Amino acid sequence: MTDPDAPVSVFRLDPELADAVVSGGADRQAEAELADQVATVLPWHAAVPPEVAGHLTRLVRHLGGDDALLRWLDEHPGRPRVAARLYWLVGLLDQVSGQKAVVTALREVRERTRYPPGLERYLPPDTDSSTLASVGEQIEEILGDDRPDDAVAVALATTDLLREVLPRAVELDPQLRGVADGLEQVQRGIETAREAGAPS
């Protein structure tokens, strides 16, 4: 979770825009404006004031859940799409971080390269069931600090690391094959989101 001492500006969700989207009365421009606000607020979701949390909860419920929220954000180029695709990676990291085969494979990789390129400041010194999840948390923090370029850079360095880790993890646990197969899509999604343009 990001530092609760966030600037007040990141806590803004226009209630009229939220009402319009939830009621089905928003045009494309209004949806895009709300999506940008949601993408700004999302990294601070655990620290937002109750009023903002309420608007966000209504929107998530209207769209059909957290996954649907990310799909909705992904429809809007720029900050929303970048945020959505970074959160898909964060979710993947949470999913695999505690898998025994992944931890073993990550240890083997780190025996060769303790801190892979681009992750020197982000990988903790120990390799355990929380290591990859902690990198996901830091990606979220960087996004919350309004540094999308840095968040993307760390995310892509992380996917490069996973491309080394997951083949060995699949050897140890074939049930992880689906995760390995989906990694390329996640990585390419982050690359193309940034290529399409994002806030500077």
Domain limits of the chain?
Answer: 8-74, 80-195
Q: What is the pLDDT of residue 194?
A: 73
Handedness of CA 57, 62, 67, 71 (dihedral sign): negative
Q: What is the pLDDT of residue 63?
A: 95
Q: What is the pLDDT of residue 12?
A: 82
Query: Token pair of 57, please?
Result: 């909860």
Q: Show the low-confidence residues of the chain (pLDDT under 50).
A: 1-4, 7-8, 198-200
Torsion of CA 27, 30, 31, 34, to 10 degrees: -160
pTM reported for the whole predicted model:
0.89
Distance CA 33, CA 35 (A): 5
Contact (CB, 8 A) for 122 and 150 = no
Q: What is the pLDDT of residue 195?
A: 67
pLDDT in tens, 11-34: 788 999 999 999 988 899 999 999
